[in-house]
Structure 1
């Protein structure tokens, strides 16, 4: 077997290993009980929000440098660091009992997040590119996202059951899965033609990469704005779901099952995003996402009943679909040398927008009623969508017109 065959085998191995890595990382058993856990340990809602804000700040400060680190040192090293920090997060939460322990855990979890952000999808794209199969990226990454959502759905149900026994169990059970991420990441093969070394000033190179991504490429800049608005709306909803469920009369015991259902919706929308986007084209996909997010908020704000959680299915659909589609759009606009950095810039935009709007949403909920705030959010998102669509209309190519079957993506 010659070197080419060996490299091809290693590259193909990356694909199933990244499938496994993403699935294991998705086993977040704590999802349905995290707020209850904080409160059980004496934290007020204000302290919980401080922890979230601190995590967002760390994410914003580290996201771009971590993406540059992945491009410079290697994506698999970034994934190894993700595994280390994810393990430390669960260990700290599993043993901690006060605000400062949880603040430390938030630091570890933010670092875990920034080291996987962009590095995983960039490594997959680079792998497929070297195999000359980059046109299958949306399909492959959609499948990975699908299995990840299946994993987190199962973990949510199990986490609810384990949390009913002891609120620390969901954190402790995650430990063996997360520690396995370390050797798994080190077994990945870094595509040679995408490895980059530099003897120049790294900070200067970083600034040049950011400038190229944001200021010199109008399409990337537009996609970053779009992504920030959609991602912000989805992230805010996560903290509004539980009060909405309580208002609608849904028993707390069913929260875990509802969140599991959300994850299944996201899983299927991500898995089939390739076919949906291929049918609609880029422009219609972007516009439809705004419409569905807006509709979800407006329906939740105006129709309160025990099965009102079905309205949130619209938002979960957009979450799964857009995560794959936007990642592919951005990948196609960048080269491999700065791909992880550009994807990290996207995540920073998302985090900044979320950090700005989250306190405002919380303040509005305290002053007005939850249904009123949900309706306001829906209307504002729709207005955002209209403005952004008008601004982008002349610049976003309709890669595939609705109903067309032969135009290339």
Structure 2
């Protein structure tokens, strides 16, 4: 009798909840500023986080392919909990740096492995055609969790801005028992040998030999970096509009609810528009979201933020699905980690500069600049994707 791997799905939801129920997110920039950090310091700190993810991203994906998705997720969950323990006892840039280092390494062990296990679990049960729907639902659950955390985190921040970090330890710990109860999916054992040399072979295949995969990874990475970058501007953007902590938490909640609801319908939108139409919607929607938010630095800019988050809800699960469709199971976690690797590299390069730009000019001008670059990079990459697909 064949085994069913459907039991993995609710456990992956718990891991997603533990990772996304971020009580700290709606107030973290305010917390940094309370401890004496500038916007350049904040985005430099986040660039260091990205470097930590980058260093381990591809090796962690390879560990997931060779060592096992389950063991990799267990390790990532433990480190995710430990990072918030460090945060709770830190009050300066260097303490935050250590916490971000631990969280970055932990995040790298989860990213890629979770999506790969989801896809392979569905593949084993011959339900892989439902991956986009499941990935969209999982993303929605994550965003709903982040939305509710916005309200809870804002309320806890009324006690102190440090309180959400202390409570976050217990939220993050939920992922540890959930990951321990996962069922490992059997894969091709031939990939268990080769070590670093085999990682390089997968990277070379993904970024050099397979042009279709290369372009899809790059396209997905550009917009992954875009959504990550804008997220760090939301709090100072709203603070500039004279919103207090409570109202910022409410808007943060509504933004994430918007992503969650939109992601539920991502597979239907892609089915109706097709790859070409959906890809055009993503490149135009996300870049114009940046530019319009930068132009409208009044309360009308909030509408532009919601517009951006709607497109984000469509883009994230669909772009992952495009990569999964053209990737084999024996290298899926490594390839998805390679995507996250490139996202973090791009973010580590651009984020400190955007932070400096906003400190010396304005947040609005920084957003307009970022949107223009994203449109240029995304548009050129999409042109080559269409050209390759026609061939």
CA contact (8 A) 1:142 1:273 kept: yes
- Out of 88, 91, 97, the residue aligned to residue 97 of structure 1 is 91
Q: Report the equivalent of 2:117.
A: 123
SS at match of 2:329: coil
CA deviation string 1:275-295 (max 9, x = no partner): 111111112111111111122
Residue in structure 1 matching 2:371, options 370, 378, 392? 378
Structure of higher RCO (CA pairs closer than 8 Å, 6+ residues apart): 2
Does structure 1 retain, via aligned residues, the 8 Å contact 2:44–2:352?
A: no
Query: Is the counterpart of residue 88 in structure 1 residue 82 in structure 2?
Result: yes
CA distance 1:372–1:201, change in 2 (3 Å):
closer
Which residue pairs with 1:230 in the alignment?
Answer: 223
Three-state SS of the structure 1 residue aligned to 2:209 is: coil
The 8 Å contact of residues 162 and 170 in structure 1, kept in 2 or not, is answered as: yes
Q: Which deviates more, 346-355 or 167-176? A: 167-176
Matched, 1:276 2:269: yes
Aligned with residue 240 of structure 2, among 228, 233, 247: 247
- Report the CA distance between 1:334 and its aligned residue: 0.9
Does the 8 A contact of 2:258 with 2:310 survive in 1? yes
Give, in angstroms, the shift of residue 158 of structure 1.
Answer: 0.4
Q: Which runs of 5+ in 2 are unaligned?
A: none
Task: Return the index of the structure with the highest Cα Rg.
Answer: 1
Which one has the bigger helix percentage? Answer: 2
1:294 to 287, 305, 311: 287
Cα distance between partner residues in 2 of 1:95 and 1:367: 32
* 2:155 alignment partner, one of 152, 156, 161: 161
Matched residue pairs, number?
391
**Residue 214 (structure 2) aligns with:** 221
Runs of 4+ more than 6 Å apart: none
Query: CA offsets, 1:82-130, max 9 Å, x none?
Result: 2101110111111223333222111111012101111001001000001
Q: Which moved more, 1:172-181 or 1:266-275?
A: 172-181
- Alignment match of 2:56 (pick from 58, 62, 72): 62
Return 5+ residue gaps in structure 1 as ranges: 399-409
1:189 aligns with 2:183: yes
Deviation, 1:168, is: 2.2
TM-score, normalised with respect to structure 1: 0.90
- Normalised to the residue count of structure 2, the TM-score between the two structures is 0.94
Report if aligned partners of 1:37, 1:167 keep a CA contact under 8 Å in 2: yes
Residue 31 in 1 paired to residue 19 in 2? no
Q: Secondary structure at the match of 2:6?
A: helix
Q: Deviations over 1:43-94 (max 9, x none)?
A: 4544433422221111111100000000001111111112101110111111
> Does the 8 Å CA contact 1:248/1:308 hold for their aligned counterparts?
no
2:7 to 13, 21, 27: 13
**Residue 199 of structure 1: CA displacement?**
6.0
Contact 1:71 1:195 in 2 (8 A): no
Q: What is the CA–CA distance in structure 2 between the aligned matches of 1:93 and 1:26, rounded to whole Å? A: 17
Deviation string 1:18-43 (CA, Å, 9 cap, x unpaired) is: 12221232111000111222333344
